[in-house]
């Protein structure tokens, strides 16, 4: 049954958008199954840089249908702006033809953004994601499929506004919600997206029964998973394989492959422990050469050596059938390269992540060294990737030290790396020859 999942294997920002964009040329449907506009996927097509937050990365393939799935929380105003930007760039509005919003997806309202903006501990994006998921769990959220039921209901608007204002007051927020304004906003959302809302789970199930290929696109990464991540410094949803089909409204038996995306080094945004983090020139090199600034927030990402403890944890949770490594080119010019293979915690050597973030913060990385390889301009890496693809060279086109780095990660993790990115462009990717 032809469904595949693309997941982040670290703390997010691994380059999922680029891979989904490549794979979207082979599928009929691309589905976001969780998260909201706290995600940021970047796709580079020549001189065009496309930054996406809600729209699936398959948007660049006009024959590909797009789904915002059951497990998402969606800001309608951000979605409308993103669609308007796409219309301005391409002349197409996918919401009129190939974009479908799940009737079960929850709606981010201004109230949720106001609450989220008060966070000073976790380092959230402030986009209202957590408060919307909290309302979902508390069974008081608003879904797209419920819009028609509450439009014109004055009692509903007044009751909800009263609850929201009580929460805002208790949290110390200055703003308040007006019932009349809330009613107008709900009506606008319905008028704007009512024709786009659908029973997307049934649509996907029917497509799979007809033999169509479906790609499930995750947001964030495994270490930001609410259950399996570095709690409490995590996102508000389950980012891992177990939620992919559930958040899309189909059953897990449809899945053929699970592709984990791993950056050739490690980054994370926001607060929380990161044992392999660097505070020296090598870390600055990764930041500067890798342009490590968040797509959504613009915040500088923290950079460090590739962490195999993190990847083993992600693989155990997700069962990757293969992995795709991104940004290998960024390591060019660092010598020696290092890989974290374990931690020292309170004088003891460990090889699995502790559940406690306080304990993880005390962990010191155990590092092995490997020879580095020289830097090259992006155009040289792109030409190398194109040559490797045209001549079927695979990884043999890479410098020998880069090849050794890939092989060593494969051996340590026990999962094949089937593609390697050596630049931001869609074509700057080398597929494994064997």
Are 225 and 157 contained in the same domain?
Answer: no
Question: Does residue 290 share a domain with residue 371?
Answer: yes
In a domain? residue 426: yes
- Which entry of 13, 282, 329, 425 is annotated as an active-site residue? 13
In a domain, 259, yes or no: yes
pLDDT in tens, 10-50: 999 998 988 998 899 999 999 999 999 987 777 676 677 77
Exposure string for 135-151, b = 16+ CB within 10 A, e = fewer: bbeeeebbbbbbbeebb
Question: Are 147 and 280 found together in one domain?
Answer: no
pTM, entire model: 0.93
Which residue is listed with tokens 């990161």?
274
Domain shared by 179 and 225, yes or no: no
**Same domain, residue pair 21 and 111:** no
> According to the model, what pLDDT value does residue 178 have?
96
Output the pLDDT for position 117: 86
Banded model confidence at residue 296, pLDDT cuts 50, 70, 90: low
Question: What local confidence, expressed as pLDDT, does residue 38 receive?
Answer: 83
Which run of H or E residues covers position 303? strand 302-304
Answer with the one of 139, 162, 193 that is the final residue of a domain.
Answer: 193
The pLDDT of 183-187, averaged and rounded, is 97
Per-residue model confidence (pLDDT) at position 50: 76
Which of the residues 41, 106, 246, 285 is marked catalytic? 41
Instruction: Supply the CATH number for residue 155's domain.
Output: 1.10.300.10
Give residue-wise pLDDT tens across range 119-154.
Answer: 766 666 788 999 999 999 999 999 999 999 999 999
Domain final residue pick, 193, 208, 230: 193
Q: Is 13 designated active site?
A: yes
pLDDT at 51: 82
Q: What is the pLDDT of residue 326?
A: 97
What whole-number distance in Å separates Cα of residue 432 and Cα of residue 409?
A: 14
Q: Domain of 60: which CATH number? A: 3.90.170.10
Asked about 41 being catalytic, the answer comes back as yes
pLDDT score recorded for residue 18: 85
Domain presence at residue 82? no
Residues 160 and 265 in one domain: no
Give me 107's structure tokens.
């709606």
Cα–Cα distance between 115 and 285 in angstroms, integer?
36
Is residue 81 in some structural domain?
no
Same domain, 113 and 148: yes
Domain total in the chain: 2
Pull the structure tokens for residue 422.
Answer: 């050596």
Examine residue 94 and state whether it is found in any structural domain, yes or no. no
Specify the higher pLDDT residue, 282 or 425. Answer: 282
Instruction: Kindly write down the DSSP assignment for every residue of 332-364, as one continuous string.
Output: TT-SSEEEEEEEEETTEEESS--S-HHHHHT-E
Query: What value does the mean pLDDT take over residues 83-93?
Result: 91
Is position 326 within any domain?
A: yes
**pLDDT over threshold 60, residue 1:** no
Residues of the domain holding 245: 3-76+200-431
* Residue 118 DSSP SS3: coil
pLDDT in tens, 346-355: 999 999 999 9
Residues 303 and 406 in one domain: yes
- The string of pLDDT tens digits covering residues 366-423 is 999 999 999 999 999 999 999 999 999 999 999 999 999 999 999 999 999 999 999 9
Residue 164 and residue 275 in one domain: no
What average pLDDT is seen over the chain?
Answer: 94
Q: Based on the domain organization, do 389 and 300 belong to the same domain? A: yes
What is the band of 295 on the pLDDT scale with cuts at 50, 70, 90? low
In a domain, 93, yes or no: no
Q: Is residue 211 part of a domain?
A: yes
Which one of 193, 221, 237 terminates a domain?
A: 193
DSSP 261: E
Q: What is the DSSP letter of 121?
A: S
Question: Residue 132: what pLDDT?
Answer: 97
User: Confidence band (pLDDT; 50, 70, 90) for 433?
Assistant: confident
Average confidence (pLDDT) over 359-370: 98
49 shares its domain with 113: no
The pLDDT score that the predictor gives to residue 294 is 73
| Shared domain check, 142 and 116 | yes
CA 164, CA 160: separation in Å to the nearest integer? 6
């Amino acid at each position: 049954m032809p469904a595949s999942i693309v997941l982040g294997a670290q703390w997010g920002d691994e380059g999922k958008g680029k891979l989904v964009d490549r794979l979207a040329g082979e599928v009929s449907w691309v589905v976001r199954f969780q998260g909201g506009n706290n995600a940021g996927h970047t796709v580079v097509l020549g001189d065009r840089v496309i930054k996406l937050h809600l729209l699936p990365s398959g948007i660049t393939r006009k024959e590909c249908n797009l789904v915002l799935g059951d497990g998402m929380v969606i800001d309608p105003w951000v979605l409308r702006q993103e669609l308007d930007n796409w219309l301005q760039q391409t002349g197409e509005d996918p919401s009129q033809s190939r974009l479908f919003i799940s009737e079960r997806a929850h709606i981010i309202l201004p109230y949720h953004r106001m609450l989220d903006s008060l966070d000073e501990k976790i380092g959230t994006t402030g986009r209202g994601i957590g408060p919307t998921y909290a309302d979902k769990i508390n069974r008081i959220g608003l879904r797209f499929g419920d819009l028609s039921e509450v439009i014109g209901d004055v009692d509903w608007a007044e009751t909800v506004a009263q609850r929201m204002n009580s929460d805002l007051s208790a949290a110390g927020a200055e703003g308040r919600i007006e019932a009349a304004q809330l009613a107008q906003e709900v009506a606008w959302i319905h008028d704007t997206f009512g024709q786009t809302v659908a029973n997307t789970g049934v649509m996907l199930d029917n497509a799979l029964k007809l033999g169509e290929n479906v790609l499930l696109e995750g947001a964030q990464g495994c270490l930001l998973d609410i259950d399996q991540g570095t709690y409490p410094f995590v996102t508000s949803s389950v980012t891992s394989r177990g939620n992919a089909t559930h958040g899309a409204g189909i059953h897990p038996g449809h899945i053929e492959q699970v592709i984990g995306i791993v950056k050739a080094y490690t980054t994370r945004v926001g607060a929380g422990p990161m044992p392999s983090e660097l505070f020296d020139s090598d870390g600055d090199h990764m930041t500067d050469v890798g342009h490590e600034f968040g797509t959504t927030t613009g915040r500088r990402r923290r950079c460090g050596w590739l962490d195999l403890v993190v990847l083993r944890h992600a693989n155990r949770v997700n069962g990757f059938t293969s992995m795709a490594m991104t940004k290998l080119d960024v390591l060019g010019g660092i010598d020696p390269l290092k890989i974290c293979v374990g931690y020292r915690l309170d004088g003891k050597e460990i090889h699995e992540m502790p559940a406690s973030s306080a304990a993880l913060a005390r962990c010191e990385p155990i590092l092995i060294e490997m020879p580095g390889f020289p830097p090259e301009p992006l155009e040289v890496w792109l030409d190398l990737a194109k040559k490797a693809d045209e001549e079927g060279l695979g990884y043999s086109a890479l410098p020998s030290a880069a090849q050794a780095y890939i092989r060593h990660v494969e051996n340590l993790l026990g999962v094949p790396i089937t593609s390697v990115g050596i630049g931001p462009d869609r074509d700057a990717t080398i597929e494994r020859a064997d």
